[in-house]
Amino acid sequence: MADKRYTRRQFIRNLSLAAAAGVSLPLFSSCTKEEKEDFLQKHFKEMTTEEKKNVIAKLEARYLQKYGKKFQISTQEAVSGTLWGYGLDLSRCIGCRRCVYACAKENNNSRRHPQLHWIRVLRLKKGSLIDLENSEHYYNPPVVPEKEYLYLPVQCQQCENPACIKVCPVHATWKEPDGLVVVDYNWCIGCRYCIAACPYKGRVFNWADPTLSPDEVNTSVHYLGNRPRMKSSVEKCTYCVQRVRTGRYPACVEACPTGTRKFGNLLDPNSEIRYIIERKRVFRLKEDLNTEPKFYYFFEA
Amino acid sequence: MNRIACWVGSLFLLVVFSVTSAMAAAEEFPVSPPPMTEGMFPCSNCHAGMEVNRKKRVLKDEHVDIVLHHAESMRWCLDCHDAKDRDKLRLFNGELVKFTESYRLCGECHGNVFRDWKAGLHGKRTGYFSGGKRTYLLCAHCHDPHDPKFKPLKPEPPPYPPTDNRNGR
């Protein structure tokens, strides 16, 4: 039976096609070619080598214009046979916050309006290490360490079973083969579900356009790490992906004046981190949540 | 004939062993230059013509900033600094070591710390952990050998609270 009537299905199809055309016509006619390219840019993991190259070239030109400096943007992939782990000696941390500012400097964080830090140093009363709710991170004594306190720096713990990537509705954040949890800042829609999901407060949000003066900018960057970010993207510690994939210690490790911070490859039996795990009494934060952090706290002796 | 061959062989082995162990030691701990006051080193510049005074005393003419707080009741300058060769340090067994190898002297008493330092646990390493130059800090970079307790520091400023106007718009 050949029914020539206009069916409901056809009606809905035509209506939605017309709506899509109607929406996209002003969208693409009113924006520049560059804005259109940004809008249609693919997810980092789905880009071909050619597309990555184009995106890098575009970003380099944009940063050159904005900061007046030539950037080196790396897209280096994870080195096979590596799984990065971190060690932190709580008996030696004096809470001086050198790591916090070294991190912000290395990773091109927004300095103010908003001020974004990837490391938060908690101060706890000695003897109440598990009492994280009553910790203080705005402490400001004339000198540190203070006798009755100990200091617990917290940053992204690079979980093996990260809660943040499970809640991301657009897969803008994922775990790399070397264990680093990274964000594609362009793909991030700024919903901040990951910030709510993270039990360590490891992620921060660009509430406004980041402020970064050209003379403070670090030009050696990684696409998934410390390249300058934009408004409404989430960012976090990546163990300095731009450094560790070339075999260099993270910035916080180099900045620490007491040698509290240790870093290494968990798969290399001769690495510093393996020495720590095998010989010291290590623990991880909130182990009961089954997030399997790769950040090991320990006490000397 | 056999005996000579044996001697030559063992001598050769000894040479090879000492050379490789020296090379290994040099490769194993590339340290940054020791923290000396500018213009102090070499110590023999001044000390070469001076008489050795082994008496325990307050230093008045030179090195007035050095006040020993490091088991001072049982130690004095020449227990660690060599009396004859002032540009060297002296181990218990009389062996002289350079200032760049001062960790060997420290390790004589602080054996467990030395063990952790060799493994990269105590102290700090900077640079490249693979595929590049890695630099170690000497004990003396963080602990003044004459007063080794780590000194308190002024902390960097706390982060702005969310209500601070430097943090909002």
Q: How far apart are the first and last CA of chain A?
A: 87
Residues A26 and A167 in one domain: no
Exposure class string for B59-75: b at 16+ Cβ within 10 A, else e: eeeeeeeeebeeeeeee
Q: Model pTM?
A: 0.84
A263:B129 CB<8 A: yes
What are the residue boundaries of the structural domains of chain B, listed by start?
41-47+55-169
b/e A5-26 (16+ beta carbons within 10 angstroms → b): eeeeeeeeeeeeeeeeeeeeee
CA distance A29 to chain B (A): 32
Tell whether A171 and A283 lie within a shared domain: yes
Q: What is the pLDDT of residue B21?
A: 47
Q: Assess if residue A108 is contained within a domain.
A: yes
Tell me the C-alpha to C-alpha distance, in Å, between residue B93 and each of A91, B71, B80, B108: 34, 20, 11, 10
Intervals of chain A under pLDDT 50: none
- pLDDT value at residue B39: 79
Token reading at A215: 């003379």
Determine, for residues A258 and B150 on separate chains, whether the beta-carbon distance falls below 8 Å.
yes
Best CA proximity match to A235, nearest among A191, A183, A193: A183
Above 80 in pLDDT, residue B23? no
Question: In chain A, what are the helix, strand and coil shares in percent, each to the nearest 5?
Answer: 35, 15, 50
Q: Are A114 and A222 contained in the same domain?
A: yes
* pLDDT score for B26: 46
Q: In B, which residues are within 8 Å of A141 by CB distance? A: 155
Say if CB A219 and CB A71 are below 8 A apart. yes
Residues in A closer than 8 angstroms to B123, CB to CB, are 259
pLDDT at position B25 over 50: no
Residues A27 and A124 in one domain: no
Rounded to whole angstroms, the Cα distance separating A246 from A238 reads 14
In percent, the amount of chain A with pLDDT more than 90 equals 85
Q: Counting beta carbons within 10 angstroms of the beta carbon of residue A150, is it exposed (0 to 12), middle (13 to 18) or buried (19 or more)? A: buried
Q: What angle do CA B80, B84, B85 make, to 5 degrees?
A: 75
- Residue A43 corresponds to which tokens in the numbers above? 């997810």
- Over residues B49-105, the pLDDT tens digits come to 888 888 888 888 888 888 899 988 888 899 999 988 989 999 999 999 999 999 999
Query: Are A94 and A21 within one domain?
Result: no
Q: Hey, are the CB atoms on B158 and A140 less than 8 Å from each other?
A: yes
Angle between helices B111-118 and B102-109 (to 10 degrees): 130
Smallest CA–CA separation between A136 and chain B, in Å?
10
Name the residue in chain B with its Cα closest to that of A252: B126
Domain count, chain A: 2
Task: Please state the φ and ψ torsions of residue A120, each to the nearest 5 degrees.
Answer: -125, 120
Mean local confidence (pLDDT), B123-128: 91
**Residue of B133, B151, B156 for testing the chain A interface, max A β-carbons within 10 Å:** B156
The beta-carbon neighbor of B153 closest among A138, A253, A257 is A257
* Eight-class DSSP state of A81: T
Q: Domain of A29?
A: 10-40
Angstroms from B60 CA to nearest CA on chain A: 31
Sorted by sequence, the CB contacts under 8 Å of residue B130 that are 6+ apart come out as A247
Residues A30 and A101 in one domain: no
- Give the mean pLDDT of chain B: 83
Q: Give CA A37 to chain center in angstroms.
A: 24
Residue B100 is classified by DSSP as G
Q: What is the ipTM of this complex?
A: 0.82
**Quick check: is A114 in a domain?**
yes
Alpha carbon A1 to its chain centroid, in Å, reads 61
Residue A127 within a domain: yes
Q: Are residues A111 and A252 in the same domain?
A: yes
